[in-house]
Amino acid sequence: MSLQKLTKKAKEDHSKGIHVGVQETPARVRIRKDLEALTGVTSEVIHSRDEFYVVKVVVKPTKGVYSGGEFHFRIDLTEKYPDDGPKVRYTGPMRVYHPNIEGEELSELRLHGRPCTDWGVCVGVQREWKPNYTLCQLIISIEMLFEHPNYDDNLPGLASTAAEVLKTDPAKFEAIAKEWMKGDTHRVK
């Protein structure tokens, strides 16, 4: 093969996340396959070759309580993916009033003098993960949290309060959620 063809192939491989000297493991193949098959996803999905086992997702709901907002998530994968399921964290840019996203500002990190910059997410696909599930299914599940917050499957802390308000007074829940989306007082530091 000519040097020109080798260079072209190396560039193509690099753009696909294949690095010379990096072993092509089943997890890497599956992650790449999942990312190439993202159909029906409305979110922005960011995948960096430098952080191969991290997928960042930006959800921008167009309807419902959270319409007009922007919500960032981090999906952490392991070398054992898809056997080991992904871990989803909410990363901001501001805290969110939501029953399925932990919004407890007084987290363990904050108690130790460091600001909390990510929170847990309660999404069924993550909790009940099976190896035949895909990143596409997980991302769509995250998107659905904003169309249909689930007060019956809430996280503790502030999320529990949000669930109770959603259940007993949906109009009040919507007003609080929209207020949180506006203000700098809830911005992740």
**pLDDT score for 111:** 47
DSSP 52-113: TTEEEEEE--SSSTTTT--EEEEEE--TTTTTSPPEEEEEESB----TTB---SS-HHHHTT
Residues belonging to the chain = 189
CATH number of the domain located at residue range(s) 22-186 in this protein: 3.10.110.10
pLDDT of residue 157: 85
% the chain with pLDDT above 70: 77
Average pLDDT across the chain, whole number:
84
Closest CA to 118 of 75, 65, 150: 75
3-state SS, residue 46: strand
Higher-confidence residue of 115 and 37: namely 37
Rounded CA separation 18/87 (Å): 23
Domain boundaries in the chain? 22-186
| pLDDT digit string, tens, across residues 132-188 | 999 999 999 999 999 999 999 998 888 999 999 999 999 999 999 999 998 755 555
Contacts of 27-30 spanning 24+ positions with Cβ under 8 A: 27/53, 27/77, 27/78, 27/79, 27/80, 27/81, 27/82, 28/52, 30/81, 30/82
- Angstrom CA distances, 23 to 8, 20, 28, 29, 79, stand at 20, 8, 9, 10, 11
**Residue type at 151?**
Y
Distance (Å, whole) CA 30 – CA 8: 24
Tell me how far the alpha carbon of residue 175 is from its chain's centroid.
Answer: 24
pTM of the full predicted structure?
Answer: 0.80
CB-side neighbour CA atoms (13 Å) of 63? 4
pLDDT of residue 67: 95
| 124 close to 141: Cβ distance less than 8 angstroms | yes
Helix (H/G/I), strand (E/B), else coil: 45: strand
Among 27, 94, 116, 138, the active-site one is 116
Q: Is 116 a catalytic residue?
A: yes
**Model confidence at 92, in pLDDT bands (50, 70, 90)?**
confident
Least confident range of 70-79, 88-97, 141-150: 88-97
**Predicted confidence (pLDDT) per residue in 39-55, tens digit:** 889 999 999 888 999 99
Distance CA 174, CA 121 (A): 19
